[in-house]
């Protein structure tokens, strides 16, 4: 890792905080991938890193390169738009395929849940 460019102290601290927040969220999401029990629970976990984690690391990158090159560098927005558009599409297709495969094997994953109580219904 080479020497970092000179950026103001507040910006360095802000970039550090954003990177830490984003990587912690990605780590929590991937640990959820390990710990949750069924596929339908696990499909929610990585979206933590794919939404807020990605957004905070991208804004750290935008802030750092805009200040170190002294001009606005916003091409990271491309990744942001692309991932935000594509993540729901991929996960919906994947859950659709999983439901289809579960029904082919004669299992109904939605019937395995306990019956909702009176206060949850509606």
Partner 1 sequence: MSGSVLLFALAVGQLFLALAMAAAAFRILRGPRAQDRVLAMDALYVNSMLLLLVFGIGSGTTLYFEAALVIGLLGFVATVALAKFLMRGEVIE
Q: Which residues of this chain interact with partner 1, rule CB under 8 A?
A: 1-2, 4-5, 9-10, 12-13, 15-17, 19-20, 22-24, 26-27, 29-31, 33-34, 39, 42-43, 45-46, 49-50, 53-54, 57-58, 60-61, 64-65, 68, 73, 75-76, 78-79, 82-83, 86-87, 89-91, 93-94, 96-98, 100-101
Report CA torsion sign: 78, 84, 85, 87.
positive
Rounded to the nearest whole angstrom, what is the least distance from the CB of residue 114 to partner 1 in the complex?
Answer: 22
The smaller minimum CB distance to partner 1, of residues 8 and 118, is found at 8
The smaller minimum CB distance to partner 1, of residues 13 and 121, is found at 13
The C-alpha torsion from 68 through 66 and 76 to 57, rounded to 10°, is 70
Rounded to the nearest whole angstrom, what is the least distance from the CB of residue 35 to partner 1 in the complex?
Answer: 9
The smaller minimum CB distance to partner 1, of residues 93 and 112, is found at 93
Rounded to the nearest whole angstrom, what is the least distance from the CB of residue 31 to partner 1 in the complex?
Answer: 6
């Amino acid at each position: 890792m080479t020497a970092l460019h000179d950026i103001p102290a507040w910006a360095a601290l802000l970039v550090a905080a954003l990177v830490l927040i984003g990587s912690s969220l990605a780590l929590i999401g991937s640990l959820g991938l390990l710990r949750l029990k069924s596929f339908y629970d696990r499909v929610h976990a990585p979206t933590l890193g794919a939404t807020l984690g990605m957004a905070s690391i991208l804004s750290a990158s935008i802030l750092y390169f805009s200040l170190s090159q002294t001009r606005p560098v916003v091409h990271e927005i491309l990744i942001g738009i692309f991932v935000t558009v594509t993540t729901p599409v991929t996960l919906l297709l994947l859950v659709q395929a999983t439901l289809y495969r579960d029904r082919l094997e004669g299992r109904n994953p939605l019937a395995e849940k306990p019956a909702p109580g009176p206060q949850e219904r509606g």
